[in-house]
Structure 1
């Protein structure tokens, strides 16, 4: 089931102290989140959701190494983190689809990651508008389980869910 933007925002409210918890457990999966900064609340919600399932999610504006204004340093830092992360996640919203940075990040990830290390998080807004269908056939996707807060991977073209740790 496509993830509702409302559900992502609600997940952010479960734990607002995430930026102070940057320790990584040995063997813990890591992800890079490609998103629009206008979707800050949804990014935090996804970070919380994945944290509850054992994955650490990198969000660039939480990184103290990032400059205040985007520049070449920003791009180099993003390259390094994307290469280092286990997976690359694209949060598809109206704002990320219109972003200048998101397509660049996705293109970079497509060039340095295996296809199974890239996943799309398609979303729907309160009006029922759906975002992410442009990429669904290229990459894995992450959907919400029909009951509860679990998120599942779906391999490209598959209807069979897998646990997040199965990539």
Structure 2
């Protein structure tokens, strides 16, 4: 099922940190790393998703936390994003109305699709109770959901929830 936006928003307000603090530390520890594609308008939701993934030991890259990024998007921005997408284990697409309408997010998922094995692209479908986002991709890529106790689960495209996820974190 899609992750509720209020769940992500609440998790984003938590300050407790988990897992590796940097991507370098994550690599040294053998932790999973991921590029998080999302709209900057949904920063609070992105922080919530990062909270759940960090609890599972993941280290997640968010471009607006990168001090080396240019202030205004340009060719250097695109090059740095491409590098991070290739460098990190997984590509996560936080599906929200804002990311679906973004000019950058569709470009990023298209780039990732051409660079990574399909199993390393993960869609995070969301719902605000009245709308669900991410359905467009659910037959193409694996999806991320929250299980009991806030655990992170990954499901195959088209896999129904009555079965067992392909992995849980």
TM-score scaled by length of structure 1: 0.91
Alpha-carbon contact 2:35-2:85 (below 8 Å) kept: yes
Shift in alpha-carbon separation, 1:132–1:55, aligned structure 2, 3 A: same
What is the aligned length? 162
What aligned pairs does 1:86-125 form with structure 2 within 5 A after superposition? Answer: 86-125=89-128
1:136 counterpart residue number: 138
Shift in alpha-carbon separation, 1:17–1:143, aligned structure 2, 3 A: closer
SS at match of 1:77: helix
Structure 1 CA distance, aligned partners of 2:61 and 2:132? Answer: 25
1:11 aligned onto 2:26? no
2:47 counterpart residue number: 44
Unpaired segments ≥5 residues, structure 1: none
1:161 counterpart residue number: 165
Query: Residues 66-114 of structure 1, C-alpha deviation per residue, up to 9 Å, x if partnerless?
Result: 0111000100000000001100000000000000000000000000000
| Offset of residue 26 of structure 1 | 1.9
